[in-house]
Amino acid sequence: MKKLILALVFSAAAVVPALADDTYTLVKDTVGNCSAAVTSTEYPGMTIVGDKTYSSLQDANKALDDVKDCAGLVR
């Protein structure tokens, strides 16, 4: 049991830093709603809004307020 717990702790320690490297891009869906999404090479059914990426979700959500042609904002 101790080995299992130690293995889980070490696995989590290896994964958590990788999660912190996400960047965010503003996207618009087919209905016209805009949101922040983790930066990817593909956004099926989405259109990229602007050309900037954001280092945090909070920064991306703040930038959504400046996007003019969205039917709504999804946060």
The total of structural domains in the chain comes to 1
Question: Domain for residue 45, yes or no?
Answer: yes
Question: Domain for residue 55, yes or no?
Answer: yes
What is the reported pLDDT for 28? Answer: 96
Average pLDDT over residues 1-21: 52
> Taking 70 as the threshold, does the pLDDT of residue 68 lie above it?
yes
pTM of the model: 0.69
39-60: burial string, b at 16+ Cβ within 10 Å, e else: eeeeeeebeebeeeebeeeeeb
pLDDT tens digits for range 29-64: 999 999 999 999 899 989 999 899 999 999 999 999
The domain in which residue 37 lies consists of 22-74
